[in-house]
Structure 1
Amino acid sequence: MFADDLCTLRAGTDLADTCCLVQRDIDAVVKWSHDNGIILNSDKTNLLIIHSPYLRPTGSPPFMYTHSFSCLHNDFVCCNCMPIKEVNCVTYLGVKVDNIFSWSHHVDYICNKLRLLLCKFYHLRFKVPTSTLKLLYLSLVEPILGYALDSYGLTFKTHIDKLEVVNNKTKANCKGNYYKLFKICRILLVSLKHKYLLAINNHDSQENSPTLVNHSHCTRSMSAGKFEVPKVNNFFGDRTLKKRLPYLLNSLPEDIRREQDKNVFKRNLKKYFIANLA
Structure 2
Amino acid sequence: MFADDLCSLRTGTDLADTCRLVQRDIDAVVKSSHDNGIILNSDKTNLLIIHSPYLRPTGSPPFMYTHSFSCLHNDFVCGNCMPIKEVDCATYLGVKVDNNFSWSHHVDYICDKLRLFLGKSYHLRFKVPTIEPILGYALDSYGLTFKTHIDKLDVLQIRFLILLVSNKTKANCKVKRMAQHWSTTVIVPTRLMSAGKFEVPKVNNYFGDRTLKKRLPYLLNSSPEDIHREQEKNVFKRKLKKYFIANLA
The answer to whether residue 17 in structure 2 is matched with residue 17 in structure 1 is: yes
Equivalent position of 2:105 in the other structure: 105
Matching residue within 152, 155, 159 for 2:149: 159
SS of equivalent residue, structure 2 residue 65: coil
How far apart are residue 168 of structure 1 and its match? 1.9
Give the whole-Å Cα distance in 2 for the aligned partners of 1:53 and 1:174. Answer: 45
Letter in 1 for 2:138: A
Give the whole-Å Cα distance in 1 for the aligned partners of 2:124 and 2:32. Answer: 53
The answer to whether residue 151 in structure 2 is matched with residue 169 in structure 1 is: no
Q: Does structure 1 conserve the Cα–Cα contact (< 8 Å) formed by 2:70 and 2:78?
A: no
Q: Does structure 1 conserve the Cα–Cα contact (< 8 Å) formed by 2:98 and 2:105?
A: yes
Q: Which has the higher helix share?
A: 2
Change (3 A) 1:19 1:237: farther
How far apart are residue 170 of structure 1 and its match? 2.1
Give the whole-Å Cα distance in 1 for the aligned partners of 2:70 and 2:110. Answer: 42
How far apart are residue 4 of structure 1 and its match? 2.0
How far apart are residue 180 of structure 1 and its match? 4.1
**1:87-135, Cα deviation, whole Å (9 max, x unpaired):** 000000100000000000000000000001122222334xx2xxx5442
How far apart are residue 177 of structure 1 and its match? 4.9
Change (3 A) 1:17 1:155: same
Give the whole-Å Cα distance in 2 for the aligned partners of 1:70 and 1:178. Answer: 71
Give the whole-Å Cα distance in 2 for the aligned partners of 1:57 and 1:237. Answer: 26
Identity of aligned residues (%): 77
Change (3 A) 1:179 1:149: farther
Equivalent position of 2:138 in the other structure: 148
Equivalent position of 1:69 in the other structure: 69
**What TM-score, normalized by structure 1, do the two folds share?**
0.59
How many residues end up aligned between the 2 structures?
177
Unaligned runs of 5+ in 1: 182-233, 239-278
Equivalent position of 2:114 in the other structure: 114
Change (3 A) 1:50 1:95: same
Q: Does structure 2 conserve the Cα–Cα contact (< 8 Å) formed by 1:122 and 1:170?
A: no
Q: Does structure 1 conserve the Cα–Cα contact (< 8 Å) formed by 2:96 and 2:106?
A: yes
Q: Does structure 2 conserve the Cα–Cα contact (< 8 Å) formed by 1:117 and 1:170?
A: no
Unaligned runs of 5+ in 2: 175-205, 211-249
Q: Does structure 1 conserve the Cα–Cα contact (< 8 Å) formed by 2:45 and 2:85?
A: yes
How far apart are residue 37 of structure 1 and its match? 0.6
After TM superposition, the structure 1 = structure 2 runs for residues 72-221 of structure 1, keeping only pairs within 5 Å, are: 72-125=72-125, 128=126, 132-135=127-130, 137-138=131-132, 141=133, 144-171=134-161, 172=164, 177=170, 180=173
**1:186-236, Cα deviation, whole Å (9 max, x unpaired):** xxxxxxxxxxxxxxxxxxxxxxxxxxxxxxxxxxxxxxxxxxxxxxxx649
Q: Does structure 2 conserve the Cα–Cα contact (< 8 Å) formed by 1:103 and 1:155?
A: yes
For the pair shown, which has the larger CA radius of gyration, 1 or 2? 2
Give the whole-Å Cα distance in 2 for the aligned partners of 1:54 and 1:90. Answer: 21
Q: Does structure 2 conserve the Cα–Cα contact (< 8 Å) formed by 1:111 and 1:166?
A: yes
Letter in 2 for 1:55: L
Equivalent position of 2:182 in the other structure: none
**What TM-score, normalized by structure 2, do the two folds share?**
0.65
Change (3 A) 1:151 1:7: same
The answer to whether residue 45 in structure 2 is matched with residue 55 in structure 1 is: no
